[in-house]
Structure 1
């Protein structure tokens, strides 16, 4: 490998922000690192996204304890990626909830994803020794389900494929606030290595149809107000389209993965080079866009070795 992944050199601790985005609703953000959400009900708390390790989960718990002493009863995971789910044990929750498809992906590719992300993100996996194993849900659903924390209603929904085939979103109707996972990002690159480019825009439309007042995105700052929400949805749409279109043109004429990489860089670098984790995401995004354009609907499983082989091909 000619050089390391960009994420392997990112060892700077990120500044944590804990923003209130509605009554009893908070976004835990960290300068482009994976976000978490907090929903406080009448008697207990729901966490959205568990973080990569119990060490990082404890940082979320510290923030929760700054605003409430209610017990954490539920952890909701929007998809299966290791950096989102492997810290779940720290919360001691009664229920861990995923969509059916996300659970199936843990079974199918969870260990490979863990090994792959562990190689890519040394900083996020500091303290990895405390991870007890793969995170499996106690509760799953297919299309939608509702959880009540006392009188507070929380709607969990699968609105379409995007970042993965099993993405869910969480909507809190009494405040009209949504937690979108990695379907929506703010000034952060979308990781599309397990994504579905052709569906992503429709899923964004489904989110936009709720006309929410705030969003806790998967990465980047909390989006408070309809203008901020609209801006982030549209910038996410632009990022996804700008990645896929050049790669698809190369694939259509039988060009190589390296040619797709060059074409995507030419389109995306001027617009997105300053986005968080842009350099890390780009090779995986190009590889997946090139595959999808060639008719591979189900993303191929990333393994630690496949990561290295892909990166070496692009450097060549």
Structure 2
């Protein structure tokens, strides 16, 4: 009998941090769980990524109410993954914003992703009964959209494919702060199961071109200062390519998915084995890297059934 996914046994509550990374700009983090960004403007609040359930989103709201009583009017979805979006109803926001591609991916694979992630992450979906359904954006854009919260400007941008095909970042020019979603991680494994390995580095370069003074990453601690920002960007780049290159070499010689798994572990374990959710991400990362190396440009949809088939093959 195959062992369970690593994340299925991760049931311990995480310690929450709420860190100000610029004037009225906050990062809600929880030891490698999905992060949420908070942007406080002159007249309202914007949320970047909603959490997996209303139960978890209410923890974010509790932290916000400790620093402001302004209404929450906007929720921005950096991408479509269930652990990022299904808590959106808790904010009672009037607008939910995402990229055009994100909306298309919700249509294409949103329910399958929900079913898949529900099986992988039981702790994150405690209280799932309160989720009203898939989260649908009320506004979408192709490349760039600017939102003003009074005088505070937020630039929402699709800089390129990376963690998914529809990733967006939020940049606050008055403080030179960026919210990157899962394009950048810090001492947490990148989940690459729906990623684009050969595009990811270029997207990181575009983030670096903004010279952010601080970044709220998708997972891991808030990044404040040039040194932390640069280190996290380069560490993310190293993680992505250290996963892809060994899998690509195995694919080129006609090896199997299990061969790719062994090759990636040989390279990545010494560098990243102690990162948050590393063991959880690894099988999905290897499967996607192997597919991309074989010319499959659009990530195959993960379903609960495919999750188990892949995992059983790797255990074989």
TM over 0.5: yes
Q: Which residue of 2 aligns with 1:75?
A: 75
2:161 aligned with 1:161: yes
Alpha-carbon shift at residue 95 of structure 1 (Å): 0.2
Alpha-carbon shift at residue 74 of structure 1 (Å): 0.3
2:57 aligned with 1:60: no
Give the alignment's TM-score, normalised by structure 1.
1.00
Q: Which residue of 1 aligns with 2:122?
A: 122
CA distance in 2 between counterparts of 1:37 and 1:109 reads: 25
Q: Which residue of 1 aligns with 2:96?
A: 96
Q: Which residue of 2 aligns with 1:248?
A: 248
Alpha-carbon shift at residue 86 of structure 1 (Å): 0.2
Alpha-carbon shift at residue 104 of structure 1 (Å): 0.3
Alpha-carbon shift at residue 261 of structure 1 (Å): 0.1
Alpha-carbon shift at residue 250 of structure 1 (Å): 0.1
Q: Which residue of 1 aligns with 2:141?
A: 141
CA distance in 1 between counterparts of 2:202 and 2:74 reads: 29
Extract unaligned runs of 5+ from structure 2: none
CA distance in 2 between counterparts of 1:122 and 1:285 reads: 20
Q: Which residue of 1 aligns with 2:257?
A: 257
Q: CA RMSD in A?
A: 0.4
Q: Which residue of 2 aligns with 1:107?
A: 107
CA distance in 1 between counterparts of 2:282 and 2:142 reads: 31
Alpha-carbon shift at residue 151 of structure 1 (Å): 0.4
Q: Which residue of 2 aligns with 1:51?
A: 51
SS at match of 2:161: coil
Alpha-carbon shift at residue 175 of structure 1 (Å): 0.1
Q: Which residue of 2 aligns with 1:281?
A: 281
Q: Which residue of 1 aligns with 2:35?
A: 35
Cα deviation, 1:140-160, whole Å, max 9, x if unaligned, reads: 000001000000000000000
Map 1:197-236 → 2, pairs under 5 A: 197-236=197-236
CA distance in 2 between counterparts of 1:201 and 1:41 reads: 32
Q: Which residue of 2 aligns with 1:170?
A: 170
Alpha-carbon shift at residue 84 of structure 1 (Å): 0.1
CA distance in 2 between counterparts of 1:105 and 1:252 reads: 30
CA distance in 2 between counterparts of 1:31 and 1:135 reads: 25
CA distance in 2 between counterparts of 1:47 and 1:165 reads: 21
Cα deviation, 1:103-128, whole Å, max 9, x if unaligned, reads: 00000000000000000000000000
Alpha-carbon shift at residue 58 of structure 1 (Å): 0.1
SS at match of 2:125: coil
Extract unaligned runs of 5+ from structure 1: none
Alpha-carbon shift at residue 26 of structure 1 (Å): 0.2
SS at match of 1:56: helix
Cα deviation, 1:165-198, whole Å, max 9, x if unaligned, reads: 0000000000000000000000000000000000
CA distance in 1 between counterparts of 2:100 and 2:201 reads: 22
CA distance in 2 between counterparts of 1:199 and 1:231 reads: 19
Counting matched residue pairs gives: 316
CA distance in 1 between counterparts of 2:214 and 2:52 reads: 25
The runs of at least 4 consecutive aligned structure 1 residues that moved more than 6 Å come to none
SS at match of 1:274: coil
SS at match of 1:242: helix
